[in-house]
Structure 1
Amino acid sequence: MPTERLTFTGHGGAELAARLDLPEGPHLATALFAHCFTCSKDIHAARRIAARLAGAGIAVLRFDFTGLGHSEGEFENTTFTSNVEDLELAAKALEARDMAPALLIGHSLGGAAALRVARRLASVRAVVTIGAPFDPGHVTHNFAGALDEIARKGAAEVNLGGRPVRIGRAFVEDVSAEALAPEIAKLKRALLVMHAPRDEVVGIDNAGAIFSAAKHPKSFVTLCDADHLITRFEDAEYVAEVIAAWAARYLDLRAPAPPPGAPEGVVRVTEADPEGFLQDINSGPRHHAVADEPLAYGGTDRGMSPYGFLAAGLGACTSMTIRMYARRKEWPLDHVRVDVCHDKVHAQDAGTAGPAKIDQFTRVVYLEGNLTDEQRARLLEIADRCPVHRTMEATSHIITKAG
């Protein structure tokens, strides 16, 4: 996934650091990601969501709000309103590159900011919130013990996530006065609310309030036992998958024509977990799968193995070929099931000459329907004519080039 580092000017004139994650294939749409309170653009959930969306053809801009991460400025002098302004300026920076965002994604307080800014951005057609508060003032419970000091002195240093952060009085007053209900009711964009029932930072009742205030089209997806920051890989993966699938309904993700010589497009395989073997597989902008290795081989078993995909291709092609033949003949075939197993066997056991070991795929075809014995026999013969079967039996020529 190509990533471009860039900066743009924030609300107070400070330069804000951003990453623009770009699709390796066609660019079909752009998303803008707003991170959680005092977090950064580089937290795991933001990186994983951006990677998955880029794999689906959606570019993602994620940036550090003023005074956070690699951005300039003093966080102490920011407010919820200034965060919203930074988010709007990020959208304008994208628009200047002819990449106006169609999708807004906000995590925690970033979700509240996304809800606040969405109606100001004509290009936005869909909004996603992840663990977002209905009442932005809810965030002050993270430093409730310092509120009196902030009120007296104008600012105080608090410990958030194991690091010191200075919070100013203007932030507390501004975020406490914010009311999102009217803005949500007038959103006029598709809305996806994602929240974990066991979120101990922002309670699940916030998701219910956001969902109730919104008009249709709206969707709610529970994140089960995920934590607020979506720190577990499998939770971030799930969030990313759901957003990618949901957004496709509301964004125009029609891909351009495939490159010459690839009439069915290109299957792109991208490493998803450099420390393991998980792979993202995209066939065009609409079809996604993951490949992995079993736990016994050092993988995390989150997807089929490469040989599993080979077996799946053989089984699917066999079933389709049988169905097409029976349909053409108007035979009473009610249902087809194909079980495929793969193993390494000695060549002589398979009745062939060659290397000591070869790959053997055992295919069992189940046919349901009021078929004669002759029809069943014929359909089993047709199974051997499926294109994938013929390809696997023939000698394939694989060309490898440097990218």
Structure 2
Amino acid sequence: MMELEIIRDGLRLHGLLERPDDGRPHPLVIMCHGFHGDLGRDPASLYSRIARRLVAGGVGVLRFDFNGHGRSDGDFSRMDVCNEIEDLIAVLRHARSRADVTDIRLLGHSQGGVVAGMTAGLYHDVIDRLVLLAPAAALKDDALAGVCMGRRYDPAHIPDLVDVPGAGAVGGHYFRIAQLLPIHEVTARFAGPALAIHGEADTVVDPAASRRYGETMPDCAVRLFPGLDHGIEGEDSEAAIDLAVRFLTV
């Protein structure tokens, strides 16, 4: 495991690079965590569990903290989907510069799924495969309705800061941007193999979000698991992870 620092517009983004031990070039999966999350240092975390299986299957993994999250620079209240896309583009630039990388694949969970999907659309000629885990495309609908994780605000007069339960102060610009994000339009430019995994027990993001990716993207399979929540936990967790890993190790 190698610690990385990737610079984006003066901000240091912290990352972890894990590779198979055979010394050969391999495909690389870049992982994108969700809203108010981090890259998952705990061995029991979702991202660690997936990373171990990918590396064992001959695929490298690059995990990183978005700006204002984990060990990366930045203020969480200044985070938004657009500057998280900029973060991912910086990480993607680093991956493309590495001689030990063949294909580049993306995996995103929740808001990270929105970011990964839109970046795959922007870099449709660079990204090889895409996995979306409980992608939170509903964040646009929520912003239009004026709600975030139970906190309500006036969507026509958004305050400069919104105190979101369990997350803290979120900049009002986050919601103004979210209201107008062309999430599916941009993501649909990615014509490569894609997989959306969602739990029917998800109480944070309706599984309809993943079904819509399947409808709007050229080659996106959708798999719904009855025993899976938004965190990809539950009785179907192992099956969902196995499916994602198999898809990314082809």
Normalized against structure 2, the TM-score is what?
0.87
Aligned residues: 241
Structure 2 runs not aligned, ≥5 long:
none
1:154 Cα deviation from its structure 2 partner: 0.6
Moved beyond 6 Å, runs of 4+: none
1:20 corresponds to which of 2, 17, 20: 17
State the one-letter code of the partner of 2:184: A
State the one-letter code of the partner of 1:155: L
Q: Distance in 1 between matches of 2:111 and 2:135?
A: 6
State the one-letter code of the partner of 2:27: A
CA 1:146 to 1:9, structure 2 compared with 1: closer, same or farther past 3 Å? Answer: farther
Whether 2:76 is the aligned partner of 1:78: answer no
Q: Distance in 2 between matches of 1:155 and 1:100?
A: 42
Structure 1 runs not aligned, ≥5 long:
250-403
State the one-letter code of the partner of 1:67: G
1:146 Cα deviation from its structure 2 partner: 4.6
Q: Which residue of 2 aligns with 1:213?
A: 216
State the one-letter code of the partner of 1:238: A
Q: Which of structures 1 and 2 has the bigger CA Rg?
A: 1
1:41 corresponds to which of 39, 42, 45: 39
State the one-letter code of the partner of 2:224: T
CA 1:235 to 1:17, structure 2 compared with 1: closer, same or farther past 3 Å? Answer: farther
Question: Are the aligned partners of 1:151 and 1:169 in contact in 2 as well (CA < 8 Å)?
Answer: no
Question: Are the aligned partners of 1:37 and 1:110 in contact in 2 as well (CA < 8 Å)?
Answer: yes
CA 1:180 to 1:100, structure 2 compared with 1: closer, same or farther past 3 Å? Answer: farther
For residues 264-300 of structure 1, give each alpha carbon's deviation from its aligned partner in whole angstroms, at most 9, with x where no partner exists.
xxxxxxxxxxxxxxxxxxxxxxxxxxxxxxxxxxxxx
Q: How does 1:46-61 map to 2 (within 5 A)?
A: 46-61=47-62
Q: Distance in 2 between matches of 1:139 and 1:49?
A: 29
1:149 Cα deviation from its structure 2 partner: 10
Q: How does 1:99-114 map to 2 (within 5 A)?
A: 99=101, 102-114=104-116
CA 1:100 to 1:174, structure 2 compared with 1: closer, same or farther past 3 Å? Answer: farther
Whether 2:176 is the aligned partner of 1:173: answer yes
1:52 Cα deviation from its structure 2 partner: 0.7
1:197 Cα deviation from its structure 2 partner: 1.2
Q: How does 1:350-389 map to 2 (within 5 A)?
A: none
State the one-letter code of the partner of 2:78: N
Q: Percent identity?
A: 22
1:157 Cα deviation from its structure 2 partner: 2.8
State the one-letter code of the partner of 1:24: D
Whether 2:175 is the aligned partner of 1:189: answer no
Whether 2:38 is the aligned partner of 1:32: answer no
Q: Distance in 2 between matches of 1:120 and 1:179?
A: 12
CA 1:139 to 1:57, structure 2 compared with 1: closer, same or farther past 3 Å? Answer: farther
CA 1:190 to 1:85, structure 2 compared with 1: closer, same or farther past 3 Å? Answer: same
Q: Which residue of 1 aligns with 2:3?
A: 5
User: Counterpart of 2:127 in 1: which secondary structure?
Assistant: coil
User: Counterpart of 1:102 in 2: which secondary structure?
Assistant: strand
1:8 Cα deviation from its structure 2 partner: 0.6
Q: How does 1:64-143 map to 2 (within 5 A)?
A: 64-98=65-99, 99=101, 102-121=104-123, 122-138=125-141, 140=143, 141-143=147-149
User: Counterpart of 1:40 in 2: which secondary structure?
Assistant: coil
1:9 Cα deviation from its structure 2 partner: 1.2
User: Counterpart of 1:227 in 2: which secondary structure?
Assistant: coil
Q: Distance in 2 between matches of 1:62 and 1:132?
A: 17
User: Counterpart of 1:157 in 2: which secondary structure?
Assistant: strand
2:151 corresponds to which of 133, 145, 156: 145
CA 1:225 to 1:151, structure 2 compared with 1: closer, same or farther past 3 Å? Answer: same
For residues 159-189 of structure 1, give each alpha carbon's deviation from its aligned partner in whole angstroms, at most 9, with x where no partner exists.
22xxx42100111111121122222332111
When the two chains are superposed, the root-mean-square deviation of aligned CA atoms in Å is 2.3
1:159 corresponds to which of 158, 165, 174: 165
